[in-house]
Chain A
Amino acid sequence: MVNLPTWTALAPTLLLALTAIILLVVDSVDPDTSNNELLAGIAGIGSLAAAATSAWLITGGTGLPGESGALITFFGDQLVADQMYLFFSFLIASVLALVVVASYDYMREHRYQAEYYSLVLLAATGMSLLAGANSLAVAFVSLELASLPSYALVAILKRNRGSVEAALKYFLVGALSSGVFAYGISLIYGATGSLQFNDVAQGLSGGPPAALLGVGVMMVAGGVAFKTASSPFHFWAPEAYEGAPAPVSAFLSSASKAAGFVLAFRVFVTAFPLDVVSTTVDWVIVFQVLAIVTMFVGNFAAATQEKVKRMLAYSSVGHAGYVLIGLAALTGGSSDTFVLGSGMSHLLVYGFMNTGAFLFIALAEYWDIGRTFEDYNGLATEAPLACGAMTVLLFSLAGLPIGGGFFSKFYLLMATVNTGTWLLGAALIINSALSLFYYSRIVKAMWIEEPAASLEIDSYPVGLYTAVIVAAIVTVLLVPGFDAVSSTAESAAALL
């Protein structure tokens, strides 16, 4: 195999950025273009290339330590291209590819298509960069690079009041959270004198003032909680997901959440090693509280919704709670890599099944059949294939052994069992049981209820169908393929 130059390790991010720039160039050349095929094609090829490159680099062993025992880093350790970076780049680029394919149909009638695709690509660039951020400064910049296009994306339906209102709320809460995060970073810098994660960890040994460090850590946790839509920073999520066009909701609830988590994993495990900071602030307890509250708030609120999209939005909050177990069950024992790996695996599986589910909502919005559970009655009589795929996705989300969601939840449960964090395990079980109830409501509506007389579907959009069905197939394939995912995730987690 040819020896590639080291910068190629950042290829996924570079490809995403390059695609965004090409899209902007196309837009500058022909500002009023409505050549949907061209734009979606460029975006699709770019995202698929990024996903394929990530997968290829992982299998080639790029993210592992080289012969000298060091990982590939850039700019004086500000960026790191380890397995975790590649793992999450793959996740983000895959979700992006699904979203772009679906958007081909969904955005066909809308204006600002070039802007739409370039914004999605830019946000993805930021998220991918966030996955490799190895310093608080880079983290902040890439977080904003991911967030700012997201605000605009939620508001892309300019004449839709719901879309605009959601975007404004999202932006305001986001601004508050960014402020908290930035303040936290400054306090950490004050306490340790550095921003690079490893140096921060080194600086801790000097015995910084407890209050300074403690408040700083808590505020960084707050910033992370915003990005991952964890309670109590989740308020923006249901509003933004509901108001945004469904492909954007899919993108935000899957990729953006994953990007938030990769930051959390890296900051807390690398920069704030538990054995040093636990006397000052035991962040495992913080995340245990956040995980349990998030699970209960998300799932209990989801159980009583009338609108399908809003229900999914809350369920996505609940899933953030499950993934938080990956941090909350870190007890410093030998099973830490398993715990962290389980969280990462769940994010990957969740990326596919949740994106698929939201894209089904996009399909429903495309058909304009309404937003409530009743509006979905008897949908299977008209669109059995899509409804079959949706059923697979929903049951996998609930954790039934029809898709990879079963294994990822099971691994999370095993993580709580191995570390003896029974409370988390119990919360996981209770909330999964509850989630089966509200996911089944959609399945029941689609398959069992009688369709309303007016229900009629006149078109079967290829792009949306492809995206939903591919997501379902990947979810099912993750049952046999889960072993590969979890072993990659664990190996990535072991490198931190």
Chain B
Amino acid sequence: MAGAFDFAPAIALLPFVSFLVALFAGQYLPKRGALAGIAATAGSFLLSAWVAITVAGGETYNEALYTFTAGLDAFELHLGLLIDPLTALMLLIVTLISLLVHVFSLGYMNDEGETGLPRYYAGLGLFTASMLAFVYSDNILMAFMFFELVGLCSYLLIGFHFREKAPPSAAKKAFLVTRFGDYFFLIGVVAIFVTFAGATRTPGAFAGEGSFPVLAEHALADGATEGLNTLGFEPDTWFTILGLLVLGGVMGKSAQFPLHTWLPDAMEGPTPVSALIHAATMVAAGVYLVARMYGFYALSPTALAIVALIGGFTALFAATMGVVKQELKQVLAYSTISQYGYMMLALGSGGYIAAVFHLTTHAVFKALLFLGAGSVIIAMHHEENMWEMGGLKDKMPVTYWSFLSGSLALAGIVPFAGFWSKDEVLFEALIHGFGSEGGLGTAFLLAYAMGLLAVFFTGFYTFRMVFLTFHGEPRTETARKPHGVRWNVKGPLAVLGVLAAIVGFINMAPVRQLTGAHIDFLHTWLNGPEEGGWPAELSTGLHHYEEVLHDFGLVSASYPLGGETGTLLVSAALSLGLALAGVLAARSLYAVPEPVEHTDELGSIKTLLMHNYYQDEYQVWLATGVTYPIARAADKFDQGVVDGVVNGISSVSLFTGSRVRRIQTGVVSNYAAFITIALVVLLVVFGVAGGWF
């Protein structure tokens, strides 16, 4: 009987079909391809649910489906599927968000009378399809291919309004900045193939026997380096280099410092696209990739420390910029950067569960916040500046309450989703910071400190946004008479609003610790059976990761503040307290009938924050001040020297050719003379050389 895994390819193929339908037949369909997209993503969602149920039954899947090239005694390149609990979870998230975004788009795009809708829905379909294929890729080459396709789709969708000035520029920026990171990723992919090709037929595989994380682990554990090509480096050094190369792509896609600059600009895309990019596809792809090959990162303490530091720094750095933004979507953009920073922090500091948990909860509440923002933008006739809003609370209650649910989750207020996941991230960083030896522990603690500080800013900017948008008196005419929204906007908001409140309950680790009840479902889900089962087969189980982290990543935990329970409570209280402090600070400043800008009180810091720490400026300088002159010099060299040599050769050749041609006089006696003379010359030369005479 055909099981769920036999239908798994259809999860990505259905949105792909909707892409084709929208592209070629969208003009003739009633909703310009929206219904095809909704049907396809709903189908994918149901299939993903079926797959998840099957995975819950303890089955996993790791097969090559199509081998496009296979060497006789060498490695092969193939497309295949890897479905384990992590994949199944991510498939559910992506298909759910994508379905809701499609429905929301009916309200945001169709009802607003946008043109070019077939192109829009085709883009959404391809975007979803590529992300899903990326999620269940079983090898890093296939992952790279769909990673790039995801990047292409985001380019197409961010630049959807290509007739205006800003969107094409933002799309180009997103494409170029992420491409910069992807160069490193590509080199990393090739390097992984080069390194492991001698030892296995499937050097790019993520899981199972003969996959690169497993081989790398064996190389470090048993010294089984036969067939590995580490280019003369020590294996551990080389694996760190490989991990960091792949990390380049991750930093670009997941908008980590310093490659985060594209993301705020990407707000130029239609708001549902932003929701999709931020919650489930583009930005999530980077973090997901690290989680997917976590067994490889866990081998290298250096890589872990770097990931953690980048994550912690990005979390704080982006949060501070979010404080001064005036546009609704800009605030959300910086919050996304900051939240993905938390996930990186968790991954780096050994909190695999925490990272996946935060990825899940963030997908829900960030999609909610963007869709809520989209609803507000519809109501405000596409005005995005928060200072032009105010008092929307009573006019759009569904939007308000669901947005509030998302905001509480983002700020990390108990019991909303974000609290549980963020708390776990910080807790893991704390205990591993104290437990790990030497510089690694220090790095974790530093990253933890930054992450903790960012909690305050998160609470502050989130509720500054809420208060400015929904509370107080309406500040403009538009805000007094907002445009209504229909069921297709309210429906997704309501679904996500409820989810944002409750999704955190899937892994209430602190409650478990206190009561001993087995309610940390996500933990169980990713851990698998203790003996045998899929973790033994695929080596992607949590238990295995923890062993690797301890043995090779040199990450260990200790509980400095009154044992495990004590530390847990202190950590939770600290982060909740800071979040509440941020919320209260925002309340005192902005929850008044006539709020005013307080940013001037920041003095010169305001200028710095408003300019986003001059990140764009220095990157533009890198492009125009450094890259461009080098490119011009290379062009000069190409035009002058290379082309000159080529042109010179061709003119010399043609000139010689015309001379050679003249030997052929057309007079047969000349030919006879030539032949005779040539023969005699040959005879004399070889005769003298051979000593005949």
Q: Interface of A with B (CB < 8 Å)?
A: 168-169, 172-173, 176-177, 180, 210-211, 214-215, 218-219, 222, 232-233, 235-236, 238-239, 279-282, 285-286, 289, 296-297, 300-305, 434, 437
Q: How far is the CB of B152 from chain A (nearest CB, A)?
A: 30
Decide if the interface of chain B is mainly helix, strand, loop or mixed.
helix
Docked complex: B654-693 residues within 8 A CB-CB of A: 654, 656-658, 660-661, 663-664, 666, 668, 671-672, 674-676, 678-679, 682-683, 686-687, 689-693
**Which residues of A are found within 8 Å of B686, using beta-carbon distances?**
214, 218, 281-282, 285-286
Q: Tell me if B650 counts as interface (CB < 8 A to partner A).
A: yes
CB-CB nearest in chain B for A280: B690
Complex Cα–Cα for A177 and B664 (A): 18
Q: Tell me if B237 counts as interface (CB < 8 A to partner A).
A: no
- Is B675 in contact with A177, judged by CB distance below 8 angstroms? yes
The 5 closest A-B pairs by CB, nearest first: A232-B678, A235-B671, A304-B657, A211-B692, A300-B657
**Which residues of A are found within 8 Å of B674, using beta-carbon distances?**
232, 235
Q: Tell me if B653 counts as interface (CB < 8 A to partner A).
A: yes
- Is B656 in contact with A300, judged by CB distance below 8 angstroms? yes
- Is B668 in contact with A218, judged by CB distance below 8 angstroms? no
| Tally of contacts, chain A with chain B, CB under 8 A | 88
Q: How far is the CB of B557 from chain A (nearest CB, A)?
A: 59
- Is A239 in contact with B654, judged by CB distance below 8 angstroms? no
Contact of A173 among B653, B668, B682, B683 (CB under 8 A): B668
- Is A214 in contact with B690, judged by CB distance below 8 angstroms? yes
Q: How far is the CB of A434 from chain B (nearest CB, A)?
A: 6
**Which residues of A are found within 8 Å of B672, using beta-carbon distances?**
172-173, 176
**Which residues of B are found within 8 Å of A304, using beta-carbon distances?**
654, 657-658, 660-661
Q: How far is the CB of B568 from chain A (nearest CB, A)?
A: 65
In this complex, the member of B657, B682, B683, B691 whose beta carbon has the largest number of chain A beta carbons within 10 angstroms is B657
In this complex, the member of B663, B668, B683, B689 whose beta carbon has the largest number of chain A beta carbons within 10 angstroms is B668
- Is A434 in contact with B653, judged by CB distance below 8 angstroms? yes
Q: How far is the CB of B686 from chain A (nearest CB, A)?
A: 6
Decide if the interface of chain A is mainly helix, strand, loop or mixed.
helix
Could you jot down 30 A-B contacts, CB within 8 Å? A169-B671, A172-B672, A173-B675, A180-B679, A211-B693, A214-B687, A215-B683, A218-B683, A218-B686, A232-B674, A232-B678, A233-B678, A235-B663, A235-B664, A235-B671, A235-B674, A235-B675, A279-B690, A280-B690, A280-B691, A281-B690, A281-B692, A286-B686, A300-B656, A301-B664, A302-B657, A303-B657, A304-B658, A305-B661, A437-B650
**Which residues of B are found within 8 Å of A285, using beta-carbon distances?**
686
- Is A169 in contact with B668, judged by CB distance below 8 angstroms? yes
In this complex, the member of B656, B664, B686, B691 whose beta carbon has the largest number of chain A beta carbons within 10 angstroms is B686
Given the interface pairs A210-B691, A211-B692, A214-B690, the reply to whether A172 lies near B668 with Cβ below 8 Å is yes
- Is A238 in contact with B664, judged by CB distance below 8 angstroms? yes
**Which residues of A are found within 8 Å of B676, using beta-carbon distances?**
176
- Is A176 in contact with B661, judged by CB distance below 8 angstroms? no
Contact of B660 among A177, A214, A215, A301 (CB under 8 A): A301
Contact of A218 among B660, B675, B679 (CB under 8 A): B679
Docked complex: B599-655 residues within 8 A CB-CB of A: 650, 653-654
**Which residues of A are found within 8 Å of B682, using beta-carbon distances?**
218, 286, 289
**Which residues of B are found within 8 Å of A282, using beta-carbon distances?**
686, 689-690
Q: How far is the CB of B623 from chain A (nearest CB, A)?
A: 37
Q: How far is the CB of B338 from chain A (nearest CB, A)?
A: 52
Q: A177-B675, A434-B653 are in contact. List 20 more A-B contacts (CB 8 A).
A: A168-B668, A169-B668, A173-B672, A173-B675, A176-B672, A180-B679, A214-B690, A219-B679, A232-B678, A238-B664, A280-B690, A282-B689, A282-B690, A285-B686, A289-B682, A296-B660, A297-B660, A297-B663, A304-B660, A437-B650
Q: How far is the CB of A214 from chain B (nearest CB, A)?
A: 5
Given the interface pairs A173-B668, A300-B656, A303-B657, the reply to whether A215 lies near B687 with Cβ below 8 Å is yes
